[in-house]
Amino acid sequence: MYCFPFAGASSWPFVDACADELPIDVRRDTEFWLVDVRGYEPIGERDVATRLPQLLKNVLGCIGSCLVPPYAFLGHSMGALVSFELARQLSDADIEGPRHLIMSGHRAPQLPRAHHSVHGLPESEVLAKLQRLDGTPLELLDDPEAMALFMPRVRADLAVCENYLYAASEPLSCSLTAFGGIDDPEVSRIELLAWRDLTRGAFSLHMFPGGHFFPHQCQAHVLRVLGQDLRTVLRRIR
């Protein structure tokens, strides 16, 4: 399983929890790999990608031939958008794509965005959004030196999401599971249900207590459902 984290993140402790705490039968048959999408940008490039096509070109060029079937994608927030579009590009390139997608904390991408763009606004506006989503540690938000390093990536990642334009195409053939937070201010249950229109495979939706970062807020619950979901996928692909 290739795991794609949210905007601003180059690491994701939840992936470590998957590798350590999922049921033993799931862990025995599953390897978890973190994908840092910014880690594939050309070294020395003056400007980082702020649009998804360029970001995907960098990622696909580096890992497209290294993906080991059968595999799945798990993405949260920005990671859901990136991994979904990567699955579509793999299909277009005649590369064997994921057998299963877990799209977490992101509306179905064919739906219009309901929130205004913030990536180009003053830092106080960007910080207000991060605080509202409640996923950035307070010690980071209160550390000016750390924020000076963190903010450019956050802005670039938010720009990727906010500049995104959906292009209609055939539904994917893989199964898809959507995860969402009951109190997420960014993504509603109806917006998550719309993911079912993007696949010809099996679809399921699971809602969890918490906001946008519900995987952190109720980790044990999410891991329990994730384990059941992966167990079903493993039975199907064996």
Catalytically active residues are 77
The secondary structure of the chain, three-state, reads CEEECCCCCCCCHHHHHHHHHCCHHHHHCCCCEECCHHHHCCCCCCCCCCCHHHHHHHHHHHHHHHCCCCCEEEEECHHHHHHHHHHHHHHHCCCCCCCEEEEECCCCCCCCCCCCCCCCCCHHHHHHHHHHHCCCCHHHHCCHHHHHHHHHHHHHHHHHHHCCCCCCCCCECCEEEEEEECCCCCCCHHHHHHHHHHECCCEEEEEECCCCCHHHHCHHHHHHHHHHHHHHHHHHHC
